[in-house]
Structure 1
């Protein structure tokens, strides 16, 4: 009888730990993004969170924040596990778009998650990060 009770207790504990692990992996997370080198406190900093399938097309979420002390922070909430990338820019003139020179170079500061040093448009593979079992905090530099 003692052996049966011990086995039963072990099975209950094991199943409970499996349920807890499964539940943890399906919980939604937050992504906190901080830009520390905004050129001024004018305008807004606009952020777009993308998955690979919709990169630079339709964001999973979009947020904006008014810079204070040349810093800007946003929090993306209810994020499912997966790989994501963030693109942000300083919309200093509040026209809701990034402005470009005639040759295609941006006139307004922008940044990408992981801060890759590349010329040309952002690349998902360089910018991607994983959201899994805990909340994510990122710092992006313009």
Structure 2
């Protein structure tokens, strides 16, 4: 009898363990100072390994309404990340530059540090732990 009860308890416990699959964190991003509704805003969630090296681990895009866009990154595992955003006015999916090397299109990143020169991960990084996040990015 004890072994039957023990077997039943172990079975139920293991079923609950599989049923409670852990989901990652949700990161909501708002950008509300886009210069115009032309084009799209592109955002990428990056690790230190992907930052400034092409696409992120999640890439999203949105049309712009009244100078505002909102994005949601879902099922993000715990870790250290940065978000980069670009107002891609001509929708060519890349940053365009003036002849002197300055960006033609607006951009921003988590941390909202706007420095001379290329962005760096240390200024943009944030931690994902066990709670959903709300971030605002400025261009």
TM-score, normalised by the number of residues in structure 1: 0.79
Q: 2:108·2:114 contact (CA, 8 Å) conserved in 1?
A: no
Cα distance in 2 for residues equivalent to 1:62 and 1:85: 12
> In 2, distance between residues paired with 1:72 and 1:53?
26
1:63 to 60, 64, 67: 60
Indicate the SS of the match to 1:125: helix
Let me know the Cα RMSD of the aligned residues.
Answer: 1.7
Alpha-carbon distance in structure 2 between the residues aligned to 1:73 and 1:132: 22
TM-score of the two chains, using structure 2 as the length reference = 0.81
**Aligned equivalents of 2:86 and 2:130: distance in 1?**
28
Structure 2 counterpart of 1:35: 31
Alignment-derived partner of residue 46 in structure 1: 42
Q: Give secondary structure in 1 for the equivalent of 2:28.
A: strand
Question: How many pairs are equivalent?
Answer: 120
Judging by fraction of residues, say which structure has more helix: 1
Structure 1 residue aligned with 2:115: 118
Q: Please show how residues 1-142 of structure 1 align to structure 2 within 5 Å.
A: 27-57=23-53, 58-142=55-139
5+ residue gaps, structure 1, are 1-22
Per-residue Cα deviation, 1:12-52 (whole angstroms, up to 9, x for no partner): xxxxxxxxxxx89x540111111110001111000011001
Structure 2 runs not aligned, ≥5 long: 1-19
Q: Secondary structure at the match of 1:126?
A: helix
Q: Retained in 1: the 8 A contact 2:37–2:66?
A: yes
